[in-house]
Every structure is written in C-alpha cells, then in structure tokens.
Amino acid sequence: MIRPETDSAPETQGTQRQQGSVLIAVLAIIMLLSFIILRFVNEAVEDLEYRSIFNEPSDVRVFGYSVLEATLATIQEVALIDDEKLYAPEQGWNDPIRYAEIPVPDGWEVSVHIQDESGKLPLNTLSEARLNKLFEETLDLDFGTSRELSSVLIDWIDADSNRRLNGAESDAYQDRDPPYLAANGPLQSLDELRLLEVWDETFFDENGQPNELFDRLSSLVTVVYDGPVNLNAANANTLELLALEGGWDDSYLFDGLDQPYLTTLPASAESGTTSVETSLLRIEIRVLRGNVPFTINALVSPEFASTGNSSETGQSDPDAPKTGSIEEQQRLRYPFTVLQLSEYSSNPPKEMAARYSTVDIEGQNHSF
C-alpha cells in the first residue's frame, strides 16, 4: 500500500511567519538601541559643552572681565567728553563692544546690557505718602490695601519694634512656619518682600513666585539706590508719579531738546528728588560658548570727579618703574566704585525709559 505524500505547505508557512516575527523583533530592538545611542550621544555632547565652560573657565572668565573693563573704559571716555557727566546711553556708551571694537572669538556670542538704576524710585527711603501714591495711582490698588502695604513695609524697615496701625512687627512673623523676625533694616533685595505680610499675597502667587504686579513694581523701584531719580532713565509711570507730586507736566518734559536727553533739570522739576544724571549703573556681560552662558553682573557707581593725577598722590617721578607696592596701589584712583559683583545672575530691564516713547530719535536702536 502506497501512502500519500504529506503536505508541508502549512509547516513552511508557519516557519516563515515565525522568522518574520523574529525579524520584526530584531528590527525593533535595533531601532530602540539606535534611539538610546542617539540620545546618549546628544546628552554626552551637551555635557561636554557644559563641562568645557567650567573645566576651562579661564578663557571665558578672562574674556568676560575684559569686556567689563572695556565697558567701564567706554563709559568713562564718553563721560570725559561731556565734562565727566553721564546723562543717557545716547551719549555713546550704550554699545561698548562696537565703540571699543572688541574682537569676539569665532563661535562665541557676547552681549553687554547697561541699565541705569538711578532711574527708579528708592523703595527703602520712600515716604508713606509717596508709597501710598505709588500703590494707588500707579499700581491701581485700593485704599485699604495701599495703607496696609505701606505700614507693613515701614515696620519692616524701621529700627523700632512699635507696630503701626495696619503694620506688622516681629511678633506677627513669629507665628509663621518657620518663625522669623522683622529685619528692622533696609531691604536687601526685592525678593525679600515675599517675607512681609500683605506683600506676600499681593505681589507673589501661592507658590511664592513673583506675579505680574511684582514685575510692574520692580520696573518702578530699586533697593540698591537711594538718591534722586534720573529723569532721563525713568519710565513713563515713574515720571507720571513724580510729576503728580511736583506739580509739573511730564508730557512736555523732553520737548524742544537739541539732544534726546536732558542735561539740565527744568526749574519746574527741581524738588531735590529728581536729577538728570546717571548715578548708578548695572552692567551685565553675557558670554555664550556652547549652550551654557557665563554672565557677570556688576553694580557700579561713577566716581569721575575723584580721578586724575594730583600732587596728593605723592609720586615724585611719574616715569619711575612701578613695582606694584601697596602704596602704589592705594594711590590709584579707579573711576568707578564697584558696589556688587556676581556671576551667573541677571537683571533684565522691565521697561525702557519714558523718553523713548516721547521723543522721535531717528537711527537709534533702544534694544540694548
């Protein structure tokens, strides 16, 4: 008896399906491994770029501080042309990289931002009446909240422990978790306001982060300067508040000028709280090499009047070689007082000076 041949087609098809499944699985594994390797390479490159900033900091830091020195030299040179006076960036010190013709290495990005801190209201020394006007007229807060904010701030700053009406002293903050005392001294930064009663709910959200109202406030006030406000650098809201107090019209302040800034204080604006000169500058140098920036933030006060050669230096022979002695260093007269110097921090401006919107200046670029 002859047996019929067995049909092997189903077995062959099953084997092919099994091989196809294995091939798909292998391709999937290859794709997964490729994705993982690509992700690893990208992260490794970013890590190397990041580490290069810190493993070789000398080049970046030296260049950054060189740009800072060139910036200060530019500001001083321009000021010397105008009788050692600083009024506004349009004098020529707004772009020190171009002015000093600083060569930038290939592949690097360098920017310099100069902000006039003397164009803001000094929060630590504002009177209660001016504080209330600031809150009501400029920030549009209601009468009750304005009085609470001013009283709480004055209690935080003044040296005594006497609680004002609607104010708060250390006993109010002892109930917090963790407890702390009122500073009884000037604010060190605007971020410190998050510790004050009423302020924490008005200018910060539930997570303690600054809100939009805080941004508006920070464009108006400063805690690093307590002198007269430079009208050339003040924004529109600050000018409006000062004009409201002084009884003068801010809308015509910059009309009829030969240059886009004031060099003399109008008689109507003379109150002892206003000026036309720059007294304090915040300079930010940002050097970008790779994906991580190196930033220098310097707060400097011009001291041009104290510079120059004088018989008081005691240098008998100006051509004598310098040895770098302590006495020689003490005789040096640096044209700036450096009040603060930090790295990896920034303080971009919130608003431009009001005169940029009231004066038509052709060919000027105000995006510093």
The 10s digit of each residue's pLDDT in 267-313 is: 888 888 899 999 999 999 999 887 778 899 999 999 887 555 444 44
Q: How far apart are CA 280 and CA 96, in angstroms?
A: 17
Q: What is the pLDDT of residues 88-97, one digit of tens each?
A: 999 999 999 9
Would you place residue 368 in the very low, low, confident or very high pLDDT band (cuts 50, 70, 90)?
Answer: very low
pLDDT of residue 322: 67
Give the pairing of strands 281-289 and 229-230.
unpaired
pLDDT of residue 262: 94
Q: Phi, psi at residue 128, to the nearest 5°?
A: -60, -40
The CB-side HSE value for 281 (13 A sphere, CA atoms) comes to 26
What does the domain layout of the chain look like in residue ranges? 32-119+274-307+326-368, 122-273
Question: What letter would DSSP give residue 117?
Answer: G
Contact in structure between 280 and 299 (CB atoms under 8 Å) = yes
Contact in structure between 234 and 117 (CB atoms under 8 Å) = no
Contact in structure between 219 and 241 (CB atoms under 8 Å) = no
Q: Write out the H or E segment, with its range, that includes residue 212.
A: helix 212-218
Would you place residue 55 in the very low, low, confident or very high pLDDT band (cuts 50, 70, 90)?
Answer: low
pLDDT of residue 107: 84
pLDDT of residue 199: 97
Q: Phi, psi at residue 121, to the nearest 5°?
A: -80, 135
pTM of the model: 0.74
Beta-bridge mates of residue 112: 285
CATH (residue range 122-273) = 1.10.40.60
Q: How far apart are CA 52 and CA 73, in angstroms?
A: 30
Q: How far apart are CA 53 and CA 108, in angstroms?
A: 12
pLDDT of residue 311: 41
